[in-house]
């Protein structure tokens, strides 16, 4: 299975950034729980559905190849990174940046958990572990300062993202996961009314494919990009810090070539 973030998935599926790589939905449909799902017709209407100019994707001709099946949801980017990029911004807009930072600074955290004494607005180089931690605290931090429907929408989306990461599923479990996502859509108007930005969020649209992906490819958690992200640190970031920030691509290529010959 292919593990990638949304931009790489769009390139692989030969779609533009404003179209889904696994369904026929475009940016105008993102956030809608109902969407067309016929990928064969998708390929026949290039301009209308924002396909890019690639006419011979690398998977063309492969047996049983279909981006709607082999591009699986990926928890690190599609769940946790989406939360940091969007859910947090929604909460900041409604509660106010100073208020949210103050609420996080007051949290009584147990030993072993992150402490946000100065809030979260000034965090830099935030990694997946920080995303997880903020997710654990966010409902308690905004409760009481946001409308009830807004709180339900954020809570439902978080519940869906965590329920979708369990190791095993039954028919009843999948129904609960689907109902939780539907709960978000039922209350998302509270979020939309508070936002000036558009609702063009590819990762949000991809959540509609989680249930079908579980049926086709098994539990979502097995496709997490955590292992490859750690490899990226060792193979790319560590060697980059040893360089002089000049001719980055040639230096990293030379380093990797030498490392391969040595080992």
For residue 155, the model assigns a pLDDT of 94
What are the distances in angstroms from CA 237 to CA 124, 149, 226, 229, 244? 16, 42, 15, 10, 13
Q: Report the SS3 class of residue 230.
A: helix
Tell me, what's the pLDDT at 181?
Answer: 93
Question: What are the tens digits of pLDDT across the range 171-217?
Answer: 999 999 999 999 999 999 999 888 776 777 888 888 888 998 898 88
Are 3 and 228 a contacting pair, CB within 8 Å?
Answer: yes
Q: How far apart are CA 236 and CA 56, in angstroms?
A: 30
pLDDT category of residue 235 using cuts at 50, 70 and 90 = confident
Q: Write the CB contacts of 198 (distance below 8 Å, at least 6 apart in sequence).
A: 27
Please tell me the total number of residues recorded for the chain in this structure: 263
Task: Report the distance separating Cα 141 and Cα 134, nearest Å.
Answer: 10
> Virtual CA dihedral for 137, 139, 144, 149, nearest 10 degrees?
170
pLDDT of residue 263: 65
Q: What are the pLDDT digits (tens) for 25-75?
A: 777 776 666 554 555 665 566 666 576 656 678 888 888 788 877 888 888
With beta carbons less than 8 A apart as the criterion, state whether 94 and 22 touch.
Answer: no
d(CA 127, CA 37): 34
Which of these, 236, 167, 204, 183, lies nearest to 79 by C-alpha position? Answer: 204
Residues 195, 201: Cα–Cα separation, whole Å: 13
- Say how far apart CA 19 and CA 6 lie, in whole Å: 10
H or E element that contains 71: none
101-159 residue pLDDT tens: 888 877 776 666 667 777 777 777 667 677 778 888 888 888 888 899 999 999 999 99
Compute the distance between CA of residue 111 and CA of residue 250 in angstroms, rounded to an integer: 44
d(CA 120, CA 40): 44
Alpha-carbon gap, residue 26 to 205, rounded angstroms: 9
State how far the Cα of 225 lies from the Cα of 28, in Å rounded to an integer. 28
Let me know the angle formed at the C-alpha of 245 by 240 and 248, rounded to the nearest 5 degrees.
65
Mean pLDDT to the nearest integer, 215-244: 78
């Amino acid at each position: 299975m292919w593990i990638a973030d949304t931009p790489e998935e769009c390139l692989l599926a030969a779609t533009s950034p404003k179209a889904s790589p696994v369904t026929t939905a475009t940016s105008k449909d993102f956030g809608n729980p109902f969407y067309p799902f016929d990928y064969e017709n998708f390929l026949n209407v290039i301009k209308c559905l924002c396909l890019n100019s690639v006419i011979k994707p690398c998977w063309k001709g492969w047996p049983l190849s279909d981006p709607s099946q082999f591009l699986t949801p990926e928890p690190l980017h599609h769940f946790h990174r989406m939360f940091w990029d969007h859910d947090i911004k929604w909460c900041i807009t409604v509660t106010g940046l100073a208020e949210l930072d103050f609420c996080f600074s007051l949290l009584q955290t147990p030993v072993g958990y992150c402490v946000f004494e100065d809030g979260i607005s000034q965090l830099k180089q935030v990694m997946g572990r920080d995303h997880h931690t903020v997710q654990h605290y966010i409902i308690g931090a905004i409760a009481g300062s946001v409308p009830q429907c807004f709180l339900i929408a954020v809570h439902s989306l978080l519940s869906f993202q965590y329920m979708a990461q369990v190791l095993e599923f039954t028919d009843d479990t999948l129904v609960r996961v689907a109902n939780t996502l539907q709960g978000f859509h039922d209350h998302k108007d509270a979020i939309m009314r508070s936002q000036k930005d558009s609702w063009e969020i590819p990762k949000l649209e991809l959540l509609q494919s989680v249930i079908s992906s579980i049926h086709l490819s098994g539990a979502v958690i097995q496709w997490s990009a955590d292992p490859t992200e750690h490899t990226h640190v060792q193979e790319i970031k560590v060697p980059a810090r040893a360089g002089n920030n000049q001719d980055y691509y040639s230096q990293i290529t030379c380093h990797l070539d030498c490392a391969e010959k040595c080992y």
